[in-house]
Amino acid sequence: MSAPLDSAAKVATGADGDAPLLTATGVTRFYGERIGCEDVSFDLWPGEVLGIVGESGSGKSTLLRCLAGLDRPTSGRIGFRDGSRVTPDIFALDEQRRRALMRTAWGIVHQNPRDGLRMGVSAGGNIGERLIDRGDRHYGNIRVAAVDWLQRVEIDPARIDDRPTQFSGGMQQRLQIARVLVSEPKLVYMDEPTGGLDVSVQARLLDLLRALVRDLGLAAIIVTHDLAVARLLTDRLMVMRRGRVVEEGLTDQVLDDPQHPYTQLLTASVLAA
């Protein structure tokens, strides 16, 4: 797994890479009395893929929702850098600017494709919406981009006018990924991108994601409870338990030589196939 690390390092030292893309500082989110996630701090560099693992209820999704600008953290700051434009805290922006940033600078792949797609709109329309939001008003160009992206996520372009309801679960997930990536974001958040898919479909989706992330030099944060997914896709790993980060480091390091008792339990509980 040294090749991905090398490529990540190469991007990180490029012209764009002399500062972190995303900076989380003491991100804490309470749900009333209960803790969602507490005091999470990290930097994410351009082109880097960060995994967040942990069992159900450990605060992974809460953290992701905060990072992606969907939920306001109770305390803490989330900084974002788009080229030379630095936003010290995305929640200090007004909602309009934050939405614009969410739409142009990053994308979110939801666990359930229904949350990320418009089910009443054709596949082409789903992909085109991000371009239209950006200001594209040329039907032909939008169409060409939609066909291109359907091919890149391995959906037959002949199905461009079909609705997502007519697609299988795996195709819906791939369509969602195309919809997110078409506007060329710098950063992609993925919440259990392979959840609910059968194993063979999962494998193809993982192949696709890995290729896309590497080809486009995307930074990504992937939430998963599947350590195999984490090992395949991520450069760096954070292990969460009860809302706190208990261990973090390079993916292979964390998985092969876990230090925290909880991480040891987690890696030991994976079934050998």
Partner 1 sequence: MQKSVGPPKRDEAYNFAYLDEQTKRMVRRALLKAVAVPGYQVPFGSREMPLARGWGTGGIQVTASVIGPDDTLKVIDQGADDTTNAVSIRRFFARVAGVATTEATGEASIIQTRHRIPEAPLRAGQILVYQVPQPEPLRKLEPKEAETRKMHAWGDYGLMHVRLYEDIARFGRVATTYSYPVLVNGRYVMSPSPIPKFDNPKLGMCAALQLFGAGREKRIYAIPPWTEVKSLDFDDHPFEVQTWDEPCALCGAADSYLDEVITDDKGSRMFVCSDSHYCEERRAAGHVGRLLGSETGQKLTGGAKE
* Helix then strand then coil, % of the chain, to nearest 5: 45, 25, 30
- Residue (166 or 259) nearer to partner 1, CB: 166
Q: Which residues pair with 222 in a beta bridge?
A: 51, 190
Asked if residue 129 binds partner 1 (CB under 8 A), the reply is yes
Chain positions 239 to 258 lying near partner 1, rule: CB under 8 A, are none
Sheet with 85-87, side-by-side order of all strands: 34-44, 22-31, 75-82, 85-87
Among 107, 128, 170, 258, binds partner 1 (CB under 8 A): 128
Nearest CA to 188 out of 102, 66, 113, 126 is that of: 102
- Answer for which of 33, 34, 137, 272 binds partner 1 (CB under 8 A) is 137
Q: How far is the CB of 155 from partner 1 (least distance, A)?
A: 15
Stretch that binds partner 1, among 20-28, 106-114, 118-126, 166-174 (CB under 8 A): 118-126
Work out which of 125, 170, 185, 243 binds partner 1, going by CB under 8 A: 125
Q: Phi-psi category of 26—alpha, beta or left, where left has phi over 0 and alpha has psi -120 to 50?
A: left
The reply on whether position 114 binds partner 1 by CB under 8 A is no
Task: Please state, in angstroms and rounded to a whole number, the distance separating the CA atoms of residues 38 and 29.
Answer: 6
156 makes contact with partner 1 (CB under 8 A): no
**CB under 8 A: which stretch of 32-40, 67-75, 119-127, 186-194 binds partner 1?**
119-127
Sign of dihedral through CA atoms 64, 67, 68, 69? Answer: positive
DSSP letter, residue 271: P
Smaller CB distance to partner 1: residue 10 or 138?
Answer: 138
Residues that bind partner 1 (CB under 8 A): 95-96, 99, 118, 121-122, 124-125, 128-129, 132-133, 137-140, 142-143, 160-161
